[in-house]
A and B are shown apart, each in its own frame.
Chain A
Amino acid sequence: MHEYSIVGALLARVDAEARARGATAVHRLTVRIGELAGVEIDLLTTAFATFRDRTVCAHADLNVMPVAAVWTCPVCSGEIERGSVLRCAACGVPARLTQGDEILLDRIEMEVP
C-alpha cells in the first residue's frame, strides 16, 4: 500500500507549487503511471480521494494516464514482443525498457485569483 505514501508526496508537491503561484484551488492533476512502475492505479485513486480532504486539492480531479511497458533492443531499436524473454532475438543483447516505469506528475491545473 505504498500508493498512500505516493499520494502524500504528490499532495506535498502540488501544495508547494500552488503556494508558489498563490493559487486558491487546484482543479485537476494529471499523472502518468507506467505499467512497470509498481503502482496500482485503483489504489492510487482511492488513496487520492482519501487524502485530498483539507488540502488545496480537496476538490481536484486526478487524471491518471497509464503508460504501457515497451522494451526495445538498444542495438537495432526493434521492439521486443510482449511476454517474451527480454533479449533481442536478432542481436542477442539485453533489452532496454524505453517506457513504462513512470511515476510522474505531469500537469497541475490551478485557480489563480
Chain B
Amino acid sequence: MCDSCGCGDPEVVPVDVHDRILAGNDRAAAHNREHFRDRHVVAINLMGSPGAGKTAVLETTARMMAGRQQLGALAGDLATDHDADRLRQAGITAKSITTGSACHLDAAMVHRGLHDLPWHDVDYLFIENVGNLVCPAVYDLGQEANVVALSVTEGVDKPLKYPVMFLKADLVLITKIDLLPHLPQIRVEAIADALAHVMPRPHYICVSANTGEGMEQWLAWLEQVRVRQPCREVTHHP
C-alpha cells in the first residue's frame, strides 16, 4: 500500500535482479559437467549447419579410435533417429534426442538423454547438436569443449554471418576438404581470415571424413582436451 500520501493505491516496487535469464539452464549444465568430470568423460558439444558433416566426422573418428577409446553420442535430431543409427553402426554408443520443433539442445534435454544412454564407461561423449548456426550457441550443456563443423561448400563468410557460433567455438573443423579441387572460389585462407575476425583464439583443423585427411590432427586435439581436462571454464558477463 502506498503509505506516502495515503491514497490507497498499490505500490510499485522495483526489484533489481541482475541475473542471467538462462540461469536455470546454467545450473543444469553445471550439474551435467559435474557428472562428466566425476566419470572422467570428455563431453564435446559438436555444432554446425545441417549437412556440415558432423555425423560423418564422428563415424570416421569412431573407426579410427576403435579398440583404443570408447565413444558415446547423443544426437539432437528434429524428427528422425537417422544420425544415431549411423553412429551406432560406426560402433558408437548412441541415442537420439528428438527435439520436435526445438532448434537447439539445452542442458535439461541432455540430462534426460543421459538417462537413456549407458555413458559411464565412455571416454568421449559427443553431443551432436541440432544442425543450426544460431540457437545452439546460446546454451551451455555441460561440455568440456565446443567444436563447430564448417564445410567448405558453405562458403567463406559463414563465420562473419554467424559470429556468435564461432565466438563460442574452441575448435572449428573445416570439413569436406576433399571437395576443394571442385570449388575454385573457396580458399581455406579466406575462411581462416573470417575466423580471426570473430574468434580471439582462432583454431581450426581441415579434415575430410572421406579420405581421412586431417583426422589424425583432430584425434590429437581430442587427446589434448582429455589430458588437460578441465580446460573450459565457463564465464559470463558481467
Contacts and interface: CB of A to CB of B under 8 A. Distances in A.
Given A38-B137, A106-B18, A21 B13 contact: yes
The DSSP consensus for interface residues of chain A is mixed
Interface stretch (B170-178, B181-189, B195-203, B209-217): B195-203
B10 interface: yes
Contacts, number: 116
Interface residues of A, number: 45
A5 B14 CA distance: 25
A53 interface: no
B12 interface: yes
A56 interface: no
A9 interface: yes
Nearest to A18: B15
Interface string A42-59: 000000000000000000
A27 B23 CA distance: 23
Given A12-B24, A27-B12, A111-B12, A17 B237 contact: no
8 contacts: A2-B134, A5-B106, A21-B13, A95-B200, A102-B236, A103-B138, A104-B20, A108-B14
